[in-house]
Amino acid sequence: MALFAAGFVLFVTLSHASAQDMRVAEVTPADLPVQLAQAREPAPQPKLTPELLAAYVARQQAIKTFSAFDVPQTGSVTTGMLSAYVDSHANPALAAIDTLEGAAPKSSLTADVLANYATRRFVPTIKKVTVANHERLCLTQAIYHEARGESDNGQWAVANIIINRAMSNRYPTTMCGVVYQTTGGTHCQFSFACDGRSDMGTERAAWNKANKIADAAFGEFQHGQRPDVLPKSALFYHAKSVNPGWSNTFREVAQIGAHVFYSPKRAADITQ
């Protein structure tokens, strides 16, 4: 026992001594490349002079007070007004214009051209977003009420019909216009639009799915595209549980889930 204890003390002593002899290698950061070091140096600031301060204040006042809708109908648009307009309506997409091959020279962007655009065609971004959200909502409502029990393809097919109609000159050009179109002022193209009940969905999972499909489909529509579930000629459909008389006058192109889809028989009736 005494021999074991002596051995244990010797082991601990040697271990402690070995631990004291350990050294951790020193690590120093590598020198920064000259170019990187120069890039990290703060840029020199211009000297603040009374002239510079006055120009800055005048510029900020022009930006805050300028509005495209306050441009007078008579008189010319000044360079200062145009400059303030650009600063207060910054759009990253405009930067890509100069890189386009064959783009018009900057000299063609005159005060008269910009003034005409601002008074006739300019739409504030907030209004564009509001309209787009409303369009998505109408498409979501149609998908939800017409096909919420269908597969993904079945719901995409309904969205396909609506977008095909919007891209045809036979129907309104918007999602809401197609979905809520009436015939003779009383008959709705989609039955849920005329049932007198709220068009907002009550089944959360089904509504979220319809909204997701509507968002993707409307994104394609905004870029001039359409879902490829059905041919672009497909403009009509009905549930398999009914047999409307008008179906005999059209050409069946697909059956997906509980719906049958049709195109006009004559090419002249497909006005894209």
pLDDT of residue 158: 96
In a domain, 180, yes or no: yes
pLDDT of residue 14: 44
pLDDT of residue 13: 46
Look at the pTM and tell me if it is higher than 0.75. Answer: no
pLDDT of residue 39: 66
Query: What is the domain range of residue 178?
Result: 126-229
pLDDT of residue 45: 67
In a domain, 212, yes or no: yes
In a domain, 149, yes or no: yes
In a domain, 24, yes or no: no
Q: How many domains does the chain have?
A: 1
In a domain, 109, yes or no: no
β-partners of residue 256 are 259
CATH number of the structural domain spanning residue 164: 1.10.10.2520
In a domain, 139, yes or no: yes
**Which residues of the chain fall short of a pLDDT of 50?**
3-6, 8-22, 24, 68-74, 92-107
In a domain, 89, yes or no: no
pLDDT of residue 165: 94
In a domain, 253, yes or no: no
pLDDT of residue 194: 85
